[in-house]
Amino acid sequence: MTDHISRNRILVRFIVLPTIFLTVTLLGGLRVDAATHGFDFLAPPLVTLIFAVLLLSLFVRAGALDLRSWLSSDQPALTNVSHFLTLLALFFATAQAFNSVLPESGLFHWLFAFFFLWTLWNNQFAEFSSRRLLRSLVVLFGTAFVLKHLLLAGFYGAQGGWWKKVAGLVLEGVSLGTIDLPAFAPATGYISFFTLALYVGGLVLLTPTPHKPVSVQTQQMLDAYRGLSPAERLDVGEAISDAKIVTPAKDS
């Protein structure tokens, strides 16, 4: 069972996590044009890279990511390179997650950017646990997703309905050029939802340290146990199960 646990951890660390974050990086800037239904890839704006730096600093402060354990001189060089590439993929995936819920241009682009920047900057001075930080990210990205892909997409879509009429009355007198947004097909919202779900799933699988620290004595015992034959392992298991823990009697 120990071998299965070790293999699963290695699989998640070296294959699953990089694949998830690279997929988020590719899908975060993907848009579907409403007229041609072709795919457009938008590079992340510079401001999303700032958001990624602020969010990764929150990961470190909240204990969700221990950089000294991921990049350590005690590890082999190839392991450090693999860990560095995983962290790099996490950085760009974070930027692309913001890119997927950030309006592409106009007034709403800067309003959303200010909202993200204000939230992330204030959180730098708050106390966070890893679970609390994850819940706050779900709320943050969920709110931005609803605003962009449901409300704004309904307003700027070909059939905006009553919401477009109400918003037009509210924004009457405001220059349309300052709030204009490019029109994308509804499939863009589905891609963004899948991207954010995949990103949050990757954060759930991300551990503060790539592996649990093991003492030298424990590692020697594990190595010796792995060198035993199946029959010897069975004998060891039976001996452990038959062992009795003797507690010293208290002095009366």
Of the listed ranges 15-19, 20-24, 97-101, 128-132, the least confidently predicted one is 128-132
- Residue by residue, DSSP assigns the chain as -HHHHHHHHHHIIIIIHHHHHHHHHHHTTEEEBTTT--EEE-PPPHHHHHHHHHHHHHHHHTTS--HHHHS-TTS-HHHHHHHHHHHHHHHHHHHHHHHHHS-SSSHHHHHHHHHHHHHHHHHTTS---HHHHHHHHHHHHHHHHHIIIIIIHHHHSS--HHHHHHHHHHTTTS-HHHH----B-THHHHHHHHHHHHHHHHHHH--SSSS----HHHHHHHHHHHTS-HHHHHHHHHHHHH--PPPPPPP-
Confidence of residue 252 (pLDDT cuts 50, 70, 90): very low
The tens digit of pLDDT for each residue in 37-74 reads 889 999 999 999 999 999 999 999 988 899 988 998 88
pLDDT score at 246: 46
pLDDT score at 63: 87
Rounded CA separation 182/104 (Å): 7
Residue whose entry in the numeric block shows the structure tokens 């499939």: 187
pLDDT score at 218: 59
Rounded CA separation 150/89 (Å): 29
Q: How many CB atoms lie within 10 A of CB 163?
A: 14
Are the beta carbons of 222 and 214 closer than 8 angstroms?
yes
- pTM (predicted TM-score): 0.76
Of the listed ranges 32-46, 63-77, 121-135, 227-241, the least confidently predicted one is 227-241
The tens digit of pLDDT for each residue in 203-213 reads 999 988 887 54
The tens digit of pLDDT for each residue in 159-200 reads 545 555 555 555 554 444 445 667 788 899 999 999 999 999
Q: How many CB atoms lie within 10 A of CB 158?
A: 8
Confidence of residue 35 (pLDDT cuts 50, 70, 90): confident
Percentage of residues in the chain with pLDDT exceeding 90? 48
- For the chain, what are the domain ranges? 2-205
Rounded CA separation 150/144 (Å): 10
Contacts (Cβ under 8 Å, ≥6 apart) of 238: none
Average pLDDT over residues 25-30: 94
